[in-house]
Amino acid sequence: MTGVDPSRLDDQQLMKELETIHRTRHDTLLYGSNDALRTHNERMAQLEGEYLRRNPRRLVSAARTREGARERGCAEAVTPDTSGT
């Protein structure tokens, strides 16, 4: 495993690790070697898994569900273009 075992991190450290790995994700995908991407994937899964384990009842935005996305898609389809072009 790369890095500290996520279960040994306090909540603040875990959030910092998650913020860092999400910030570096795009560059790793575009420019990292296959090994770097695999390591990144594994570490991200470990950190996210630990976050979800600690926060099973986390607040979920209705807009971030499938139903919310469908509603958003329907609203975008019927909203007239008001850009003035």
Q: pLDDT value at position 74?
A: 83
Distance CA 7, CA 43 (A): 12
Q: Where are the domains of the chain?
A: 6-78
* Sign of the Cα pseudo-torsion (6, 8, 11, 17, in order): negative
pLDDT in tens, 26-81: 999 999 999 999 999 999 999 999 999 999 999 999 988 888 888 888 877 766 66
- Whole-structure pTM value: 0.76
Q: Who contacts 32 (Cβ-Cβ below 8 Å, separation ≥6)?
A: 40
Consecutive H or E run containing 72:
helix 66-78
Q: Looking at residues 8-29, what average pLDDT do you find?
A: 98
